[in-house]
Amino acid sequence: ATMLTAPAFAQDYPSRQMTMVVPFSAGGPTDTVARLVAEKMSADLGQTIVIENVGGAGGTLGAGQVAKAEPDGYTMLLHHIGMATSATLYRNLAYDPLAAFEYVGLVTEVPMVLVARKDFEPADINGFKDYVKANADKLTLANAGIGAASHLCGMLLMQALETPMVTVPYKGTGPAMTDLLGGQVDIMCDQTTNTTQQIQGGTIKPYAVTTPERLPLFPDLPTAKESGLESLEFAIWHGIYTPKGTPAEANERLSKALQAALADEGVIKAMADLGTAPSSAEDATPAALQAQLESEIARWKPVIEAAGVYAD
Ligand code: MLT
């Protein structure tokens, strides 16, 4: 019988246009990170990377599409902490997050800010907490669906205040921000990549940040810990994945392109202006992302189970 050997990995890889799926709407924080790094990865790879926004179900529709894509090295997914929380939140997920993907590397860890529409009554975070507790049944909290970073932060906020609010899900916090700017929704917890310009422009009202230390961009904003909201201390890490079966040589080549993008002065500056910073070269690797996903699934599983919040 002839030996069936795997086709030798094409030495001219990549030799055609590539796709990066973003599992949320265009114009939101995940899309912003994706377009920043894809532009420079494309330059390093010498091939166009087309961004495909596939929103819905808190990012799990887009992730599921990539899980089923051809593992040829030409389709990748850029997703964030939601890849880990969805593993527990969704009990009938179309894919196993720990079996359906190969890993390229970590991209960035983005802080979140608790914000409200610009004319929201409370003057500061303590007033915010009292006001929300007293008016919860009249307030709306926007997020990007169960599994989104904005959902996780909102869930932790409601748990910390022991106050359920009406939540309004969008296909991304890009469209959610439009309604917050218009005053159609009251509160949102979103990433600095989507809130920095609005905060600087005074078109939304910030209350606190989810980082352990205050942000240089917003030195007057208290941290979650200072605000008595210790459980809201977390950053939104982002990673790039490929479908299971994608050759290791492809994932390694993509990781090299990601590391080049993260070392680019323009990317570093753009991220700093949006309150975040690139992951290190060591973290922008397949092994680092795999370790991060595994540990984050384990970290958030008991928190989500304690909240009893599921998407069924
Ligand atoms: C999220 O809440 O997970 C993100 O803000 C969604 C997005 O990038 O639009």
Q: Is 195 in the pocket of ligand 1 (CB under 6 A)?
A: no
What is the bridge-based pairing of β-strands 49-53 and 18-22?
parallel
Ligand 1 atom with the shortest distance to the CA of 174: 9
Kindly give the number of the ligand 1 atom that is closest to the alpha carbon of 80.
3
Q: With a 6 A CB cut-off, is 144 part of the ligand 1 pocket?
A: yes
Regarding the beta carbon of 150 and ligand 1, being less than 6 Å apart is answered yes
Would you call 311 exposed, middle or buried from its count of C-beta atoms within 10 A (0-12, 13-18, 19+)? middle
pTM of the prediction? Answer: 0.96
Q: Name residue 99's amino acid.
A: A
For residue 168, give every residue at least 6 positions away whose Cβ sits within 8 Å of its Cβ, in sequence order, or none: 140, 141, 142, 143, 176, 179, 185
Measured in degrees and rounded to the nearest 5, phi and psi for residue 20 equal: -115, 110
Q: Which of 20, 30, 81 to mutate to test the pocket of ligand 1 (most atoms within 8 A of CB)?
A: 30
Alpha helices of the chain — where are they, by DSSP H?
Answer: 29-45, 60-67, 82-89, 125-135, 149-161, 173-181, 192-201, 248-262, 265-273, 286-307
Look at ligand 1, atom 7, and give the residue with the nearest C-alpha.
Answer: 172
How many CB atoms are closer than 10 A to CB 52?
Answer: 17
The CA-based angle 177-170-18, given to 5 degrees, is 95
ipTM for the whole complex: 0.94
Task: Give the three-class secondary structure for 303.
Answer: helix
Q: Which residue has its alpha carbon closest to ligand 1 atom 9? A: 172
Tell me which of 51, 89, 150 to substitute to probe ligand 1's pocket, judged by most ligand atoms within 8 Å of the beta carbon. Answer: 150
| Cβ–Cβ < 8 Å for 86, 296 | no
What is the spatial distance between Cα 167 and Cα 100, in angstroms, rounded to a whole number?
30
CB 297, CB 88: distance < 8 Å? yes
List CB contacts of 306: < 8 A, sequence separation 6 or more.
Answer: none
Q: Is the CB of 28 under 6 A from ligand 1?
A: yes
Nearest 5 degrees, angle CA 210-CA 64-CA 80?
A: 15
pLDDT digits (tens, 9 = 90+) for 239-268: 999 999 999 999 999 999 999 999 999 999
- Each residue's pLDDT tens digit in the chain (312 positions)? 566 666 678 889 999 999 999 999 999 999 999 999 999 999 999 999 999 999 999 999 999 999 999 999 999 999 999 999 999 999 999 999 999 999 999 999 999 999 999 999 999 999 999 999 999 999 999 999 999 999 999 999 999 999 999 999 999 999 999 999 999 999 999 999 999 999 999 999 999 999 999 999 999 999 999 999 999 999 999 999 999 999 999 999 999 999 999 999 999 999 999 999 999 999 999 999 999 999 999 999 999 999 898 997
Q: Atom 6 in ligand 1: which residue has the minimum CA distance?
A: 172
b/e code 97-119 from CB counts within 10 Å (16+ = b):
beebbbbbbbbbbbbbbbbbbee
Q: What is the rounded CA–CA span in Å between residue 163 and residue 129? A: 10
pLDDT at site 165: 93
